[in-house]
Amino acid sequence: MSAEDDFGLWERELESPPPKQAGGGGRGMVLVAALTAAGCTALITLGQAPLGAAGLILSSIILLLWRAGM
């Protein structure tokens, strides 16, 4: 690696990254969470408590990982 390569690498580190696009992911996430909670609550009300509870737990894990960016 030459000095020019090092300088180019250093310049790229100092350049600001391109602006991220503003997305409506937060609103969609809230909508998905509300619909999932409503569906699981309906299952619990209809007598399928284990299935409703499993749905709530699974959807909570998925939404948590989605929010964390995984």
- The model's pLDDT over 44-69, given as tens digits with 9 standing for 90+, comes to 999 999 999 999 999 888 888 887 87
Of 56, 27, 25, which Cα lies nearest the Cα of 39? 56
Q: Are 55 and 39 in contact (CB under 8 A)?
A: yes
pTM: 0.57
**Residue-range domain boundaries for the chain:** 21-68
Task: Tell me the C-alpha distance between 6 and 12, whole Å.
Answer: 10
Beta carbons of 38 and 57 less than 8 angstroms apart: no
**Rounded distance, CA 36 to CA 56, Å?**
7
pLDDT score at 3: 58
pLDDT (tens digit per residue) in 22-45: 555 678 878 888 899 899 999 999
Q: What's the pLDDT at 52?
A: 93
